[in-house]
A and B are shown apart, each in its own frame.
Chain A
């Protein structure tokens, strides 16, 4: 459901209890939700953008930027999911990709080239874990909060499907793909400003081969959030790429 503020101005409280859910007459819609006014969202968006550029290790700032600027893109994504049979099921069942829910042993046992095997290989090679994704705080709708959570958890699968590592170059390529696919302003900004920290040689490869391929794939592919990945671990990566419309990586 949508959060509805009971008034538009914050009130200074004297002597009342300090429950932050009641702070501005708004409700906490999901665990971890922090209701915010439009002014606060604007300030957060600006602040997190600056901080993310200043200190690239502040992944939480990238997450906050995504949440505060996603007000147009997220409903769009949600509607795309609702209108697709598999996407609709995902919205109903709300699967989460977490180490506790994944059967790592089983996935490792799958044949090479299958989604599950390659995903686990990607996690091991790059030494990452799906549990490091931030839960959403500033999205004022709990279904949209799930959508952005799903987007974050599926990010590693994007890496697997696109065959990109987690270095700066790989991340930028994935961001370009995600920017086209989701329309999230955070992805667009990341795609535009990420290359600023790359060497010229890498920039060349990026501009001539990788980005055009990412854009073409992004435009051609159907919505990646509409794939129930948890039910497709056995499917070979190549076949999934074909099904989605992602061109083979260069």
Chain B
């Protein structure tokens, strides 16, 4: 798996856009909206490589924070200028409100691309990049408010271990969110999807990234991944409660959610 992603790292984002015709952006937006983070949230994004979820999280929290500050400003309109000025010293216009995201990935190349992207797009504060294995996270127990894994869990050899680790590092009350390709039950759509996956995607891989085999691996790994109900059961086995899933695009992609209580 490691070598596949080494080849894939630099062209990852281009390939994602081509393969999904840009729809993966919408899926990731929906994930972060579902998360609905407030300022002060500590997020762990596993297999987050090139930073897509992390950047969306930061944007979301920033806009929530801006609204918070605007409301505060409105409340302060009856104060004197002196009092307003004094309140600045105390508040320290923390644009993120102490939110932080830790991006963890097993692959150095993916993290490198992510860091470059962050610099290029102007994300500086609130981001940390850590090398780590989802089956054995380098973090202490009960640390994070939210754990996300977007299009990463199917590449983990022992999914049950990854889920157990997710449970361990989440704080009580913390939320597990998983965005992943899943199973399409509609037979017509399923056939079209198969046709597209097996005929077009490896060709795109060869033409854009010069790498047929990695993308052949990709479509095969999607087919071998547990379907919605099975993944839900696995998440429950790891100790999560209120486990549920939401199908996007009739099951091409699904978001699974669970809580550590």
User: Is this pair of chains taken from one and the same complex?
Assistant: yes
Q: Contacts A10-B199, A43-B203, A51-B208; is A20 near B194 (CB within 8 Å)?
A: no
Contact of A18 with B224 in the complex, beta carbons under 8 Å: yes
- Chain A residues with Cβ below 8 Å from B194 are 10-12
Contact of A51 with B220 in the complex, beta carbons under 8 Å: no
Q: Judge whether A98 is part of the interface by a CB distance below 8 angstroms.
A: no
- Chain A residues with Cβ below 8 Å from B16 are none
Q: Chain B: interface secondary structure?
A: helix
Contact of A13 with B212 in the complex, beta carbons under 8 Å: no
Contact of B199 with A37 in the complex, beta carbons under 8 Å: yes
Please provide the chain B residues from 184 to 218 with a CB less than 8 Å away from any CB of chain A in the complex.
Answer: 190, 194-195, 197-200, 202-204, 206-208, 210, 212-213, 216-217
Q: Contacts A34-B212, A61-B207; is A43 near B199 (CB within 8 Å)?
A: yes
- Chain B residues with Cβ below 8 Å from A47 are 203-204, 206-207
Q: How many residue pairs between the two chains, A and B, have CB atoms under 8 Å in the bound complex?
A: 54
- Chain B residues with Cβ below 8 Å from A11 are 194
Closest A residue to B195 by beta carbon equals A10
A201 CB → nearest B CB, Å: 34
- Chain A residues with Cβ below 8 Å from B213 are 20, 34
Closest A residue to B212 by beta carbon equals A34
- Chain A residues with Cβ below 8 Å from B11 are none
Q: Which of B200, B216, B220 has the most CB of A within 10 A?
A: B220
Q: How many residues of B contact A (CB 8 A)?
A: 22
Task: Mark each residue of chain A from 81 to 101: 1 if its CB lies under 8 Å from any CB of chain B, else 0.
Answer: 000000000000000000000
- Chain B residues with Cβ below 8 Å from A58 are 210
A200 CB → nearest B CB, Å: 32
Q: Judge whether B223 is part of the interface by a CB distance below 8 angstroms.
A: yes
Closest B residue to A14 by beta carbon equals B223
Q: Judge whether B221 is part of the interface by a CB distance below 8 angstroms.
A: yes
- Chain A residues with Cβ below 8 Å from B197 are 12
Q: Contacts A10-B194, A12-B223; is A44 near B217 (CB within 8 Å)?
A: no
Q: Contacts A12-B194, A15-B224; is A137 near B210 (CB within 8 Å)?
A: no
- Chain A residues with Cβ below 8 Å from B221 are 18
Q: How many residues of A contact B (CB 8 A)?
A: 25
Q: Judge whether A173 is part of the interface by a CB distance below 8 angstroms.
A: no
Choose among A10, A44, A48, A60 the residue that contacts B198 (Cβ–Cβ < 8 A).
A10
Q: Judge whether A154 is part of the interface by a CB distance below 8 angstroms.
A: no
Please provide the chain A residues from 36 to 80 with a CB less than 8 Å away from any CB of chain B in the complex.
Answer: 37, 39-40, 43-44, 47-48, 50-51, 58, 60-61, 64
Q: Judge whether A23 is part of the interface by a CB distance below 8 angstroms.
A: yes
Q: Contacts A34-B212, A39-B199, A40-B199; is A18 near B190 (CB within 8 Å)?
A: no
- Chain B residues with Cβ below 8 Å from A16 are 224
A51 CB → nearest B CB, Å: 5
Please provide the chain A residues from 16 to 35 with a CB less than 8 Å away from any CB of chain B in the complex.
Answer: 16, 18, 20, 23, 34
Can you report 24 A-B residue pairs in the complex whose CB atoms are below 8 A from each other?
Answer: A10-B199, A11-B194, A12-B194, A12-B198, A13-B220, A13-B223, A13-B224, A14-B224, A16-B224, A18-B220, A18-B224, A20-B220, A23-B216, A34-B213, A37-B199, A40-B199, A43-B199, A43-B200, A44-B206, A47-B204, A48-B207, A58-B210, A61-B207, A137-B212
Interface residues of B (CB under 8 A from A): 190, 194-195, 197-200, 202-204, 206-208, 210, 212-213, 216-217, 220-221, 223-224
Sorted nearest first, the 3 A-B pairs with minimum C-beta distance are: A47-B207, A12-B194, A10-B198
Other than A13-B223, A43-B200, give 13 A-B pairs with Cβ distance below 8 A: A12-B197, A14-B223, A15-B224, A18-B217, A18-B224, A20-B216, A34-B212, A40-B199, A43-B203, A44-B203, A47-B204, A47-B207, A51-B207
